Structure 1
Amino acid sequence: MGVHSPVDNHDPDNRKGHIAGLLKGVRLGLLDAKFFKEKVERVDSIGPRAIHGTAVVGFDIYVIGGFDGRTSLSSCFCFNAATKTCREVAPMNARRWGLMVAVLRGSVYVMGGYEHEHREDLRTAERYDCKTNHWFFISSMNRERYKGSAAVLNDKIYVAGGRDGKNYLNSVEVYDPDTDRWTFVTPMLSGRRHFSCVAFHGFLYAIGGRNETSEKLSTEKYDPAEDTWTEIPGMNYYSGYLNAEVIDDIIYVISGYYDNVVACFNDKENRWQQVADMNICRYGISTCVIKDLPKFSDQCHSLGQEVSGAQRQINGGETQKKEGGVT
């Protein structure tokens, strides 16, 4: 006769965050195959997922939503880069892949995306309170969009481009957290998806992407003071699912379409350069930057040394390797 413990159903959502630690003490190889498939294999872990979002708050990296090959996800995990520990946090209110993510005033925001089960393009948006571990709906965007991009500029969230299921979008809307309102600004010069937005030196850059007429779209930047978009030099390199980040006052672009290419833009010289490739080709990746990580200098070479040792200039579509560079 079995005994049912009252602990079994106590606070299951919070207990899920300890599963990874507990499984280290389980001899999975001795489990019955049927039990493993029904009880263990279906647990939604931090792994495999694509077309997800990432956000950094302090030393915490939040991995949000995405697609696991079967369904869109609402689950979220938090990895602390200082302690190297991972925990599951509260799921979003909606399942989303191809979502846009931004961090503003210590909160994580997610916008839009695609809900696979009902084949629905989303315009809803949510805010995550890291202190209370809760997601709250905020005002929805003015239109549905997925596979667009978001960035924070002048204490507001800009969401640009993407698709609405039928069209490649060039529209751009801005969220003001003080009024909880979305407002359209001047649209981009080209509709695009699979691109990346990044705020840099007071401008908003829209980099890469594709639409129905081109897979080699120009890069453009937005001036919020003038409410205008202008083209800047193209990369002479293309890949879908681009991710852009700013490190050491330089924009880095990381490929995420079965590719491993990394390039950077120097706005002082107004040109693009290719740097050392990633070690692994990846698809549908998401990237982030952590500042002032403890003991980071003890774990890797300085970024400047790595870039200078591998820097290659892209000129006229041909890659020219500098002396001392690597292939």
Structure 2
Amino acid sequence: MIMIFRGIKTLKTEWSVKMARLIEETDYFTLHFLSDGVYGAIAKHGQGAWSNAGIVDLGDECLVFDSFSTPSAGADLRRVAETITGKKVKYLINSHYHGDHVFGNQAFIDATIISTSMTKDLFKEKNKIGNLAKETKETKDYLNQLKIQMEKSQSEVVKASFVNQFNEMSKVLEDLPIMKLVFPTLLFEDKLVIEGSKRRIELYCFGGGHTPSDTFMYLPEEKIAFMGDLVTENLHLPIVNPLEFKSILDKVRLMDIGTFVPGHGIVGKVDLLESVYDYISYLMEKSNEALQSNQSLETFLSEFQTPEPYSKWRGMNGIKDNLSKVYKFLDR
């Protein structure tokens, strides 16, 4: 079955409104001017885009970063990219394998689709579309389960996360009959540079924290980074390796970046990165304390009280799911 996850909280700041200027709006996303020829496509809640994307005018051709969660949203992204730049999309970057970032790939089937080799392997292993009738039934069953959980939820924050999940998966269900999985065709490992006639972009993979392999895109002249889900806004994003996640962010800290485009949420400055870094540090600190005092995972989670501001962060599974993952990781 196709599975994606997320809950997003968007908080507007004076900086983001001023610097990431809204220039276009579609059914799926809002397009924001970041620099001459560089744009952030910020997903609208529950409309079938789900994650953020980027558009970069390289000079003679165009590049897109991530492709949204449905073929329909991906096609809209390509239309806007080629209209606003006047160039054909030559490259599509897949930051990681999660469906909300790659299920729009088929709209770019004639472009060069780039990822790490591990991301491609995970994409092929984890994202599979079987018999359409079976996929449709399973997705409808999942939506019914979400509806029950929405009704039972006592927390408005958690309920909002279930609502967003329900709406996004409903859009995936609508596109299932036309959905095809299109895999990356150009692979790299640690770094890849693309030199356009107008600007240079750099792709980096310092390892895996959110997934086993996470790529981000850096524009050195503009000091802009499209971070995928290495940076998100007020979201309990899934974590597979907290140590490597912190190590990745430590390396990003050393780079000259003024503008961060998160995988989910609005465009911001370095405080977006620091927020995620502090969150992972907090999870590790509390998990280590529990392990050092010989607390079982069950006792640790039952006694844990979510502090501010994390109680307001979105995500269906909340902070305790990540605490469980980090505890088990450190216990190994």
Whether TM exceeds 0.5 here: the answer is no
Higher strand share: 1
Greater relative contact order (CA < 8 Å, ≥ 6 in sequence): 2
Question: Which structure is larger by alpha-carbon Rg, 1 or 2?
Answer: 1
TM-score under structure 2 length normalisation: 0.28
TM-score under structure 1 length normalisation: 0.29
Higher helix share: 2
